[in-house]
Structure 1
Amino acid sequence: MTSHVSGARSGAAVRSTERTGLGSGWLVFAGVLMIFGGLMMLLQGIAAIAHDDVFVTTRNYVYEFDLTAWGWVHLVMGVFITLAGAALFQGATWARVVGVVLTGLAMLANFLWIPYAPFWAIVLIALNAFVIWALCTAPSPEER
């Protein structure tokens, strides 16, 4: 009798998971990392826009842009990555594809950002690599 009750609970949990569209711990992992990573990029962008003198600029850098321009790039990408991460919690299928594309672009932007904040940029590159991995390995709705 107790096994029947526990089976009913797990069935309700499966139906609840299907209804929300999460279905996998990897999607939750990716969503949380996207939200935190997006917020970190957003704050990094605000710092670059508000106080250019916070960051050390290097001379003779191949991808040299104005630091304020980099700030706007990080700010906009941070907003979009945070929103896409939140959309994963709503079960939006498009959020997986958008998440992979945006985090790939964020990896590129952070690679180009390395001369300004090396440790921070490398941390965000690694975080974005984990997000892409989690989004790509999570089972699709058809597999659940």
Structure 2
Amino acid sequence: MTTKTTHPSTSGSTQARLTSGWLTFAGTIALVVGTFNIIAGLVALLDDEYYLVGQNQILVFDYTTWGWFWLALGIFQVAVGAGIVAGRMWARVVGVIGAVLAAIGHLAFLQAFPIWSVLTIALCVLLIYALTAPPAGSRAA
């Protein structure tokens, strides 16, 4: 006959960690949006004729500037997405700020690539909701 013995934890206290599917979802969305922005940045840098805007339409910057902006923001969002998945609180706060910047940037970029921009804006709004909806103190699963 065998008996099962349980030993108390060595730390002396057991604290339950809340996990949130929303935070895991938010981290994944941040990684996806960041990847989309990296792709958009590389396309703007490598192929100036890919995005086409007519003469009477206004685009705030030239495509090289947009390329560097999207590339930097995309790399930033991928790093923040990894932080969100790791359960870091700073990543949640910075993720909301990054999503707002990306949404505003895609509003300005709307004339150059409307479908991509609308989809990315929708993902940014979903990301903001996913980052602000979880209970305080929860971590990604």
Query: Within 5 A, what are the aligned runs for 1:1-144?
Result: 15=16, 18=17, 23-141=19-137
Choose 1 or 2 for highest CA Rg: 2
Highest RCO, 1 vs 2 (Cα 8 Å, sep ≥ 6) = 2
CA drift of 1:63 comes to 4.2
TM-score by length of 2: 0.83
| Paired position in structure 2 for 1:10 | none
Separation in 2 of the partners of 1:75 and 1:98?
Answer: 17
Query: In 2, distance between residues paired with 1:99 and 1:139?
Result: 16
- Identical aligned pairs, as a percentage? 35
Please tell me the root mean square deviation across aligned C-alpha atoms, in Å.
1.6
- Which amino acid in the other structure matches residue 71 of structure 2? L
**How many residues get paired?**
124
Superposition TM-score, scaled by structure 1 size: 0.81
Asked if 1 retains the 8 angstrom alpha-carbon contact of 2:59 and 2:111, the reply is: no
Question: Is there any run of 5+ residues in structure 1 with no aligned partner, and where?
Answer: 1-13
Structure with the higher helix share, 1 or 2: 1
Distance 1:76 1:105 in 2: 12
